[in-house]
Amino acid sequence: MASASSVPRAKSSPIILWQVPKDEPARHKIVVILDQIAAEAAKQGRKEMPRICEELKTAAKATPSPQQVDALVSGFDRLVHLWQAAKSGLL
């Protein structure tokens, strides 16, 4: 998966949003990474990862809150698990 390195790297981004809530470049970066992951996953016929990416993009655009950060971190965890399963051939 070409976006594979993006998944683990992006996982730390939600924490930055909580620490610096008005960091628009960080929000934009998260959305760009999610778009890349979704596009690559869709090319490979994966349906779950693009859906999760859309949910995470909505959360990334929301007002920073503990719930938003938790949703983003949990979503990135799900993406990491799906990416690892796909990489290992389980999916």
Q: How confident is the model over 45-89, as pLDDT tens digits?
A: 889 999 999 999 998 888 777 888 888 888 988 988 888 888 777
Residue 11 has pLDDT above 70, yes or no: no
Q: What would the CATH number be for the domain defined by 6-88?
A: 1.20.120
In whole angstroms, give the CA distance from residue 91 to residue 35.
21
15-51 tens-digit pLDDT: 666 566 677 888 888 889 899 989 988 998 889 999 9
Q: Is the pLDDT of residue 1 over 50?
A: no
- The residue written with tokens 């949990």 in the block is 74
Q: Copy the structure tokens of residue 86.
A: 């796909």
Domain boundaries, the chain: 6-88
Asked whether the predicted pLDDT for residue 3 surpasses 60, the reply is no
CB atoms < 10 A from the CB of 44, how many? 13
**Taking the complete model, does pTM exceed 0.85, yes or no?**
no
Number of other CB atoms surrounding residue 5 within 10 Å: 10
User: Among 36, 32, 61, 67, which residue's Cα sits nearest to residue 50?
Assistant: 36
